[in-house]
Each structure stands twice: as C-alpha cells, then as structure tokens.
Structure 1
C-alpha cells in the first residue's frame, strides 16, 4: 500500500526536478558568463591603468637610447639605440656633475630618513599609546605642518641659512627635508601603533619589563614592517624633493633633481633632451628596484592592522 501511494509523489518530485534542471543549468551559465565578463573588464581596466601610468616612463627610457639628432622621432623604440646619452649624463665636460649629485641625493635622503624615523617612532608611540594634555592638538598640528606650502618657507629659510652661513651645505637641505617627511612618518606609524593590542605590552610589564624594555623588545619588533614601509616612503619623498634644493644648494651640494634641471648641452642654448632622459632613467631605476625588492614588506606594512 505504501509503495503504491508513494509512487505518484516520487514521480511528481522527479518530474519537477527534471523541469528545474534546465533552469538551474541556464542560471549557472549566466553566472559564469557574468563572472567571465567581469574578469575581462577587470583585466582590461588594469591594463589601461598600467599602460597609462607607465607610458611616460617607457617614453623616457626610449628617448634615453635615441641619438641627439633623432630626439623627436615617433617610433616606439629608437631605430639606432645608443648608450652615448648615459655617458654624456656622467660627463663633467659641460659642468653637469651628475655623479656628484647622485651622491648628494643619497646622503640627504638617507640622513633625512634616519632622523625622521628616530623622532617619528617615539612621537607616534606617544600619540598612539599615551594620554597627555592637548594630544589632539599636537596631532592636528603635525598634520597641518604636512600641508603647509613649501614655497612659503623658501624666503625665510634662505635668509636664516644665509645669516648663519649654512647656504650650500648638507644641513641646509636635510633640515627642510626632515620637516616635510616627519609628519608622514608620525602619521603612518601612529595609525599602526594604535592597532597593536595593549595586552602584549601589559604582559611584558607583568613579566618585569620596564616601559623602555617593553617598547624595545615587544613593540618595535612588531612595528618593524610599518617602520620599514615608512622608511621607504620617506626616502622616496626626500629623493624627489626639488623646490628647497633648487634654492638652498650650490654646485657642490645640489641633488639629482636640481642637476637634471640644470643640464647643459654641447651647444649654447641647446637643451640636451636625450641626456636629460638618460639621467631621469638612472634616477628612477634605484626607486623601482627598491620597491620591487621590498614590495612584500611595503604591502605588509601598509595593510597591517587593517583586519583584526
């Protein structure tokens, strides 16, 4: 009896499943097509963005390998590539001194980054972990300093450094660079220190660590990715600085950004475009290598604390 009664019900369910199967299959096909088109749009958009961003750098590198008489040819790659422009960039016959400028930029950027980190780590830790009067005002003042226009400081700094005899010295370039990268350092590290759990520091204090020991042995190792990322960002910002260096430096202390802008050609009133492009390529390569080698640490430092 039960089998006789259940047979129509089973048959009806099977018939319904057979009717729904094409619908489910069609729905899956539509979802797959939509997902496929979404991937295509993503790849096309990414390719357009990459080409748009890298096209100027590619054209700079391509022009660096062109002959001076073929500067404005429109081929994607020079018809007769040459290394002469790189040799010309380092030549001192026309008074360019590009090699010395590279060393000056390395010194100024490295020292500025070290000083900014030395002060920024402690300032960021205090702003993130300690309570003291006017804490919000201090943080707002630091952020406001990062937005202050550098052009407004050129005249006062020029007068000050002239009076104390610092014009054309490394300290005249390092101090303004530190003032611009220090707010970036403090802001980046403060956001990271806020995400670190208090329990780690409290556990270290319970185990007998002093506040300084807890900071050095517990907090700093955890903050290493963020510190590394901040150091790279500060170095790049100092390396690319032009405005202050163009006024406060001389022929012996000028950085690469200033040296490239002052490149002289073989003939009077001649702009050595190909040599300038070669110098720009040389200046860009260290930054590209730095980012490519340490990209995992950079991404780790920028995203640490974003997900708990």
Structure 2
C-alpha cells in the first residue's frame, strides 16, 4: 500500500496529530545535536553570554580548524575508534551468523535457557564487570593493546546480535533448508549458499547496529584497560581534553561532530539496506 493511500485513510485532524507528534519527537531527539553544532560555531567569549541567543552572533567554522592543533593526535583517535569498531563488527558477524542459524533451526536441549542467559548479559552494565575484566586482561597480558577493547566489545554485543539475527532467520521458510537437504547439501553448505543470500538484509542490520554499538561503548573499556595514547579511541581522547584548566567548548563540540562523522557516513550509505532489513524482518515470509 502506498503512503498516499495510507494517509488518505486518516481524517485531517488525525494527520495533523501524527505530524505534530513526529515533530515533537524529532525536536527532543535533534535538539542536543543542533545546540552542540551551534556551540561549535560560537566564539568562546560568547558561549555563556546573557541573554541567550539561539543563533550564534559572529559565528564561524574556525573551531573546526583550530581543534586539530588543540587536540593532539585527534586524527589517530578517530582511526582507533573506526578500527576497533570494524574489528568488533567482523568478529561478531563471524560468530553470530552460525549461532543465530543454529538457534533458529535446531531445537536442542538448553537452547531456551541459553538464549535467556544471552539476554541477561545485556542487563548488566559494563561498569559492574570492570574489575573482573581488568584482572582477566592483565592475566592474558593484553592491557594497553587493541585487544583489551575489542574483546569486551565483542562479548557485550554478541547477545543482542544473536537475538536480532535469530528472529530474522526464523522468518525464512524451513522448506528451503529441506529442499537443500533433499539435494544432498550439508548444514554448512545450506547456510552458506541458501540462507546467507536471503538473510543479507538482516545481517546488514546486525552489522550496522554492532558497529554503532562498538563505536559508542569504547569509553569505559578504553579508560580502564588502556593508558597509551597510540591505542586511545576518540571518546577517551576527547575526555582527556577536559583535563586542562579551561575547557574550550566550541573546539570540543567541533571535535565531537568531526569524530562521529564516520558513523554518520556509514548510516547514510547503508540506510537503504537498514530500512530494507528492518521491514523485511518485521513481516512473516
């Protein structure tokens, strides 16, 4: 059904209410980003001026130039965040795809409690497990390395990825597997040649959400398990910016917006696949 046909089913005041609700929702979601961007344009002396002005007076993009000198190693911080998130995403996909297929197709003993345990992992904050994880990382000798941030990221993102991809694979008809088995295909061959091509929209959704999750959760692990600048991701690099006597807020906001640019570009390029995957997994095949 086309969008215009769906809208035609509502009365005018219902349409006004729908769009008003969307506008209010977007206002709450986008307001912090808009304010942060405007702060990056304001001169430092006018940030706390009274009365408050929404649009910056004498605004410029100067902070986007000076931040590269004010935050040493800023480009390297971005690379570290992108590298860590990419490695976490690849490892999660390699582990999650066969696991989700197994949970979606096989009724083995303990599958229900095991899925519940996966879900329970997401209920714990990373801060609760920092001390055990620190002792574990130290015993393996991986402190102050990329592995100290990659391994916890993988561990905390696998459960939600399994649940998401399992739900998608359960909607793929079992008749496809049965037809492949009749032709003599193994489970691995069926997964690789039959299921994976159909499940690519769902896998794309998992990849995007995993990358964003890994990009966002680096702070607490990197702050605890790493003290070397060369392995420092963007959140910790910007946090170190607060250690000075004066916080240059406009440059800090500019650095924050530049730092999230890789994730924003990824979402923009993959949004078509993201929407397709979410809508395809939302209906029964």
TM-score (norm 2): 0.89
Q: Does 1:273 align with 2:249?
A: yes
The offset of 1:285, in angstroms, is 2.8
Which is worse superposed, 149-158 or 167-176? 149-158
Matches within 5 A, 1:158-173: 158-173=134-149
- Consecutive unaligned residues in structure 2, runs of 5 or more: 1-7
The answer to whether the Cα contact below 8 Å between 2:205 and 2:273 also exists between their aligned partners in 1 is yes
Look up the match of 1:223: 199
3-state SS, counterpart of residue 165 of structure 2: helix
The offset of 1:305, in angstroms, is 3.5
The offset of 1:264, in angstroms, is 5.0
The offset of 1:256, in angstroms, is 0.8
Q: Does 1:194 align with 2:170?
A: yes
> Cα 1:95–1:80, aligned 2, differ >3 Å: closer, same or farther?
closer
Matches within 5 A, 1:206-245: 206-241=182-217, 242-245=219-222
Look up the match of 1:55: 31
TM-score (norm 1): 0.83
Distance 2:107 2:16 in 1: 51
The answer to whether the Cα contact below 8 Å between 1:196 and 1:305 also exists between their aligned partners in 2 is no
The offset of 1:60, in angstroms, is 0.7
Query: Structure 1 segments of 4 or more deviating over 6 A?
Result: none
The answer to whether the Cα contact below 8 Å between 1:96 and 1:259 also exists between their aligned partners in 2 is no
The offset of 1:111, in angstroms, is 0.3
The offset of 1:67, in angstroms, is 1.6
The offset of 1:284, in angstroms, is 2.8
In terms of Rg, which structure is larger?
A: 1
Which is worse superposed, 76-85 or 41-50? 76-85
Q: Does 1:252 align with 2:230?
A: yes
Which is worse superposed, 163-172 or 181-190? 163-172
The offset of 1:132, in angstroms, is 1.6
Look up the match of 2:84: 108
Q: Does 1:67 align with 2:21?
A: no
Distance 1:173 1:209 in 2: 39
Q: Does 1:84 align with 2:53?
A: no
Which is worse superposed, 76-85 or 184-193? 76-85
The answer to whether the Cα contact below 8 Å between 1:116 and 1:182 also exists between their aligned partners in 2 is yes
The offset of 1:95, in angstroms, is 5.7
Q: Does 1:138 align with 2:138?
A: no
> Cα 1:164–1:209, aligned 2, differ >3 Å: closer, same or farther?
closer
Q: Does 1:305 align with 2:281?
A: yes
